[in-house]
């Protein structure tokens, strides 16, 4: 049995709370990639070292909760699902749920006795997998939060999003993570946002109805290799790169319902149609008209200097060919 007492260590100001495992006391359950590695583990020599398990919670919603532990007898991988719970097997209290962010491999004595220092981050890391490009106009914060989670994430719920929250006149998100978007909505209406250990988003107004202890290592029998380690870190893996291409400016303001957008240079666009980006908006077009005929009229249109000739005056608007008035 992995019997431990989780001792809370509160940092100055109360903003940080650490749960440090100590031998003796209640049962601690730690699942790594769906396999129990603490209380009730099936393989006795593959588990987690006592006093290495630490759960760090923070009251700052922009800072994710973290979990650290040292594993032996099995090799955790970056991205593995980790769940830490305390209590009985029938009704354990979840303290942490997230994924393995980094793994540092070392050993005690010889390489046959490997140790894996594991660092985990909570589910907010997964909630930020997609970037948000969207604009909301005259919608309640409840609808905005629900749409952000449903549209730009997978596996997250909104069971604890407060109903009938204040209406926001307009808010725009451009290439932001979902967590930052939620925080901006919360700031606009004075709400609180957090993600619990069951991947459920809590969003509400008002109120809702430390130091780790490292495991002791045995002195190595090969001093020259005591500091040898291998680190694997998922936080620096880049799976996508966002690139926004160039393009021309629009020649005038576009009225609602307009079907043509005049631009300075049509060479950027595909004659068979495509998609363009304008701020937070993505606009689909179906064709291209190169233009070149007609004149530019309306406010702001100005003639060039008068041409000299035998006539009284001549005015030219580009790109219209020269237009003259006959002499009288």
* Domain ranges across the chain: 3-123+211-235, 126-196, 249-291, 294-328
Spatial distance between the Cα atoms of 172 and 82, rounded to a whole number of angstroms: 34
The three-class DSSP label of residue 227 is: coil
Spatial distance between the Cα atoms of 204 and 206, rounded to a whole number of angstroms: 7
Q: What is the pTM of this model?
A: 0.60
Which sign does the torsion angle of CA 94, 96, 99, 104 carry? negative
The reported pLDDT for the residue numbered 113 is 87
Spatial distance between the Cα atoms of 42 and 136, rounded to a whole number of angstroms: 51
What is the DSSP code string of 77-113? Answer: -TT-EEEEEES-SSS-EEEEEEEEEEEEEEESSSTTS
The reported pLDDT for the residue numbered 296 is 55
The reported pLDDT for the residue numbered 248 is 83
The reported pLDDT for the residue numbered 227 is 43
The reported pLDDT for the residue numbered 299 is 58
What is the DSSP code string of 286-306? Answer: --------S---STT----PP
The reported pLDDT for the residue numbered 240 is 65
The reported pLDDT for the residue numbered 303 is 55
The distance from CA 281 to its chain's CA centroid, rounded to whole angstroms, is 20
Q: Which residues of the chain have pLDDT under 70?
A: 1-26, 59-61, 89-91, 209-242, 291-328
CB-CB contact of 52 with 69 (8 Å): yes
The reported pLDDT for the residue numbered 295 is 56
The reported pLDDT for the residue numbered 191 is 93
Mean pLDDT, the chain, whole residue set = 76
Spatial distance between the Cα atoms of 79 and 251, rounded to a whole number of angstroms: 49
CB-CB contact of 29 with 41 (8 Å): no
The three-class DSSP label of residue 145 is: helix
């Amino acid at each position: 049995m992995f019997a431990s007492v989780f001792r809370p260590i509160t940092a100055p100001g109360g903003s940080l709370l650490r749960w440090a495992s100590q031998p003796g006391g209640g049962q601690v359950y730690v699942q790594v990639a769906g396999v129990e590695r603490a209380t009730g583990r099936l393989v006795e020599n593959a588990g987690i070292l006592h006093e290495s398990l630490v759960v760090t919670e923070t009251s700052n919603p922009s800072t994710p909760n973290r979990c650290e532990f040292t594993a032996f007898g099995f090799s955790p991988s970056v991205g593995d699902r980790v769940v830490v719970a305390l209590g009985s097997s029938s009704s354990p209290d979840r303290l942490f749920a997230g994924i393995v962010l980094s793994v540092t491999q070392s050993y005690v004595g010889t390489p046959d006795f490997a140790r894996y220092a594991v660092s985990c981050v909570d589910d907010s890391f997964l909630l930020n997998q997609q970037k948000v490009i969207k604009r909301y106009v005259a919608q309640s914060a409840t609808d905005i939060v629900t749409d952000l989670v449903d549209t730009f994430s997978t596996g997250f719920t909104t069971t604890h999003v407060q109903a009938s929250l204040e209406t926001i006149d307009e808010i725009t998100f451009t290439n932001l993570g979902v967590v930052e978007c939620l925080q901006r909505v919360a700031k606009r209406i004075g709400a609180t946002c957090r993600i619990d250990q069951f991947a459920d988003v809590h969003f509400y107004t008002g109120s809702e109805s430390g130091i780790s202890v490292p495991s002791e290592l045995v002195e190595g029998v090969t001093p020259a290799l005591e500091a040898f380690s291998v680190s694997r870190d998922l936080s620096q893996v880049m799976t996508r790169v966002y690139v926004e291409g160039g393009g021309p400016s629009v020649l005038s303001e576009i009225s609602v319902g307009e079907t043509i957008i005049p631009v300075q240079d049509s060479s950027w666009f595909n004659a068979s149609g495509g998609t363009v980006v304008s701020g937070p908006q993505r606009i689909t077009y179906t064709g291209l008209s190169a233009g070149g005929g007609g004149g530019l009229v309306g406010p702001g249109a100005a003639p060039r200097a008068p041409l000299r000739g035998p006539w009284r005056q001549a005015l030219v608007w580009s790109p219209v060919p020269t237009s003259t008035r006959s002499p009288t």
